[in-house]
Structure 1
Amino acid sequence: MLQLQVYCERKEEKGVSNVLSKWNVQFYVEGAGGSDESLLKFTAFVPDFVINDIVDELVKAVDLRKSHSSITWFPISGRSVKYANSVRVLKKFKRHWSLAAIEGLIEKANSQAQVDSIQLTLGAVASIVALFGLVNNSIVMIISAMLLSPILGPLYGFSINIVMGKGKDALEAVLSIIKLLSVIFVSALVVSFLLKSGGMMPGRPTGEMLLRGQSGVVYIALAVLLGYAGVVAIVSRIPEILAGVSIAAALVPPTAVIGISLVMGWGDVFEGSFVLTVENVLGLLIGSLLGLYVLNVSPRSYYEKRAAKMYTKRTAVVLTAMVAALILVELLG
């Protein structure tokens, strides 16, 4: 249990009362200025897992630039029936992430966000297997390639570090995604060139290639859903392979088709697969951020949370603007 104390002017009473009432927390108010009747002191009893959200709203209701205004909180012991009821109500809407749980998520994210030579090798193998599946119109081989691709880890590393306000680590995760996609592309490019030199490539795109050479708004929406599902799977300890295969399906085959079509000179397929890959990447990143937002994953410290919220908001705006530009291109095209 935390005791929250808010000192404010009487004209700010309604705003503070509205915030505390909205969160269904027990509180009382009293005069705090002695002879100065314009000052008030609010005292509330707040569960620790919602303190950041409540204070974030109180900051908007209280002018902290004034010397007599303040918002403070500290742990206390004791029991209150009304407090217990508030906790039960709030837990229905807010998932309780302990400091240890948050640190565990960050540690897991950073360990998965880095790609080493083994993972890059798996990416290359996945690309080659996908290529043969695409050339032979074999969906079984394409699915096998998806099982090998380690793309889910960097995606998770990006999203968790963004919501934690760790820009450098998030950038490293993005670089890992770029490395994996580059390896998939180059592998498909080289093997396609060798097969073409040996006369073993088809004269025109197969059905599976054409499917990965088509972009559209619906694919962005699907990518957002897949990104959301992938991050929720990791955080909620659902078997990651269930979401990992779907995410790999959105990235590995179309990226391989980029390399194939470039070697074969299929301009329309190249353009479509390239746009589809970009759409899928952006959609997955947006979906992963949305998943962590819904799960209420954030720093525990109030000030860290404010900074992380600003960082997340800016990232979401940039990604959304890029997706909007792609949608506009699709609609105009």
Structure 2
Amino acid sequence: MKKIVVHVRKDGHDKIEEALKDVHYTELLLQDVYEFTIFTPDEHLDDLIEKIQNALDLRYNENMIEVSTPEFVISSRLKRAVKSIEKKEEKTPVEKLLDSIRPYGELDLEKLALTSIAGLIALSGLLLNNPVIIIGAMLLSPIIGPIYGFSIYVALGMVRESLRCLGVLAALLLSVFALSAVATFLINLAIPLPLTTEITSRVVVNPIYTLMAVLLGFAAVLAFNRGTSEVIAGVAIAAAIIPPMAVMGIVLVIQPPSLIAAALLVGGQVVGLIVGALLAVAMLKVRPRSSRDRAIAQRYLKRSVALIVLLFALLLWITLIMAE
């Protein structure tokens, strides 16, 4: 259950009243501003906010919409109204999505530290040929954030913010690559390092890895949007990127000719995850509220999807050629 409080000037009263004609609400006049209070099931919040926002002129400071979650509400009329409402799938409001993904477009020391530590732990597991250690490293990496943020921003047509998320993703992956290369170089000076099974399995080019990444990106973003913990949902994405990125650093030092195959694997994984994330966001029907913004977002989304699919097809083609 959500509580919506709408403040509107007198000149906008009739429009709000018309927008709420099929909704149970209470109304108060506070000086020169009307206050409408509405209680609605979570499933209907997004549609109701859209109706109110279309009727409310937010250019005036007095006009505003406030949404909160009450502890409980006791009302026989509201209880009857809720029973009469047809149940539908709950949809997260755009405003809430934007608020939740804002940190993913910012690069900070904590993200770099967690990703770097995850990369070093994955490196240890790769060198020790220990898959348990590699899996443990995935619990630390915040890689899902920038990918999820990018897919949401693309769907909303927010170009600058989506590019910022890609920049954060690139910086995090490069930190893993650089640290893995430096650590491998230093360890190799003291102890000759062999190519373990866990390493060699990640320098074999196979298109199945790329297709698997699409499924992982789709499932992880869908689960994350449904309220699954970022750590749990992020394990799938981190498992697809962090170890191959660490392998790139390892083979750069130990076996440079394998660097191209390792880079292709990483590129295919990253593009596959983004394709899967965009598919999930499209299924969730994330879009701006205004028709003008929707048109802009649609154009940007189509161009972005076309470019990413082209890159995906190119990587898949190269992977197939090298796998033969």
What is the TM-score with the length of structure 1 in the denominator? 0.70
CA shift digits 1:159-217 (9 cap, x unpaired): 11111110000000000000000000000010000001112422xx1100011112222
Q: Is 1:175 matched with 2:164?
A: no
- Distance in 2 of aligned mates of 1:206 and 1:105: 42
- Give the C-alpha shift of residue 241 in structure 1: 2.4
Match of 1:140 among 132, 149, 157: 132
Amino acid at match of 1:186: A
Residue aligning to 1:309: 298
Q: Assess, with a 3 A threshold, how the Cα gap between structure 1 residues 96 and 314 changes in structure 2: closer, same or farther.
A: farther
SS state at 1:150 partner:
coil
Aligned residues: 250
2:149 corresponds to which residue? 157
* Cα offsets for 1:207-250 (capped at 9, x unmatched): 00011112222111111111111211221112232321111011
1:254 pairs with 2:214:
no
Matched residue, 2:254: 264
Instruction: Note if 1:220 corresponds to 2:216.
Output: no
Aligned match of 1:81: none
Which segments of 5 or more consecutive residues in structure 1 lack a partner in the other structure? Answer: 4-47, 53-72, 76-86
Note the residue ranges of structure 2 that are not aligned, 5 or more in a row: 1-15, 19-45, 57-84
Q: Which residue of 1 aligns with 2:230?
A: 240
Secondary structure, counterpart of 1:249 in structure 2: helix
Counterpart Cα distance in 1 of 2:315 and 2:17: 47
1:102 aligns with 2:94: yes
Larger Rg: 1
State the distance in 1 between where 2:17 and 2:173 align. 47
Given that 1:165 and 1:309 are in contact with CA atoms closer than 8 Å, whether structure 2 keeps it comes out as yes
Q: Which amino acid aligns with 1:187?
A: L
Mapped to 2, the partners of 1:188 and 1:111 lie a distance apart of: 26
Please name the residue that 1:328 is paired with. 317
Deviation digits for residues 268-311 of structure 1 (CA, Å, limit 9, x no counterpart)? 3x222111100010011111111011011111111111110111
Q: Equivalent residue for 2:288?
A: 299
**CA–CA distance in structure 1, aligned partners of residues 110 and 233 of structure 2:** 21
Which amino acid letter does the alignment assign opposite residue 238 of structure 1? T
Secondary structure of 2:267 counterpart: helix
The equivalent position to 1:119 in structure 2, one of 111, 124, 133, is: 111
Partner Cα distance (2:187, 2:193) in 1: 6
Q: Distance in 2 between matches of 1:208 and 1:316?
A: 33
Name the counterpart of 1:43.
none
What letter matches 1:285 in structure 2?
A: I
CA contact (8 A) 1:163 1:309 kept: yes
Question: Alpha-carbon deviation of 1:96?
Answer: 6.0
1:290 lines up with 2:288 in the alignment = no
CA–CA distance in 2 between the matches of 1:328 and 1:200? Answer: 36
Where 2:138 maps in the other structure, the secondary structure is helix
Q: Following TM superposition, by how much is the alpha carbon of 1:328 offset from its aligned partner in structure 2, in angstroms?
A: 1.6
> Who is 1:6 aligned against?
none
Distance 1:318 1:164 in 2: 17
Shift of 1:74: 6.7
Is contact 2:151-2:277 (8 Å) kept? yes
Cα drift, residue 329 of structure 1: 1.4
